[in-house]
Amino acid sequence: MKKKSFVTLIMSVVGGLLFALGMCMALIPEWDALTEGIAAGAVGAVILLAMVPVRRKMDGKPMVVLNGKTIGTALLGVLGAVVLGVGMCMVMVWDMMVWGIVVGIVGIVLLLCLIPVIKGLK
């Protein structure tokens, strides 16, 4: 295993676990750990975001260039994730099964649109 793959693996596992645990702490009322959950989730998100420049540096690539395509791709990813999350909330929290599934599928389709945007069609 190459060093860059190992570093990416460690950062993604630690960041993902902290983010997921933080979200569970914040959103499960029985745990009564909203503040701690937000803090843990924020640390996990920072680690996951820091993984991008670290990986690019280890690949010898320049840092992320902000242009229209990069900003649009990021906005599409955020929009897809938010729509998918709203669909999940509609199903699990607001007890709106059918509409939650529909909104969740729309979010999944938005996230699938990232593949041709990033990789292109051949």
Percent above pLDDT 70 for the chain: 100
- Please check whether residues 57 and 72 belong to one and the same domain: no
CA dist., res. 118 & res. 103, Å (int): 23
- Please check whether residues 75 and 122 belong to one and the same domain: yes
- Please check whether residues 84 and 42 belong to one and the same domain: no
CA dist., res. 86 & res. 88, Å (int): 5
CA dist., res. 117 & res. 109, Å (int): 13
- Please check whether residues 71 and 58 belong to one and the same domain: no
Mean pLDDT of the chain: 93
**What is the extent of the structural domain holding 119?**
65-122
- Please check whether residues 70 and 58 belong to one and the same domain: no
CA dist., res. 94 & res. 18, Å (int): 26
Confidence of residue 64 (pLDDT cuts 50, 70, 90): confident
- Please check whether residues 84 and 116 belong to one and the same domain: yes
- Please check whether residues 80 and 116 belong to one and the same domain: yes
pLDDT greater than 90 at residue 120: no
Number of domains composing the chain: 2
Q: Please provide the DSSP assignment of 44-85 as one string.
A: HHHHHHHHHHHHHHHHTPPPPP--HHHHHHHHHHHHHHHHHH
**Structure-token pair, residue 120:** 């292109």
What are the pLDDT digits (tens) for 4-17?
899 999 999 999 99
Q: Does the pTM of the predicted model rise above 0.85?
A: no
Q: Which residue has the tokens 């729309």?
A: 106
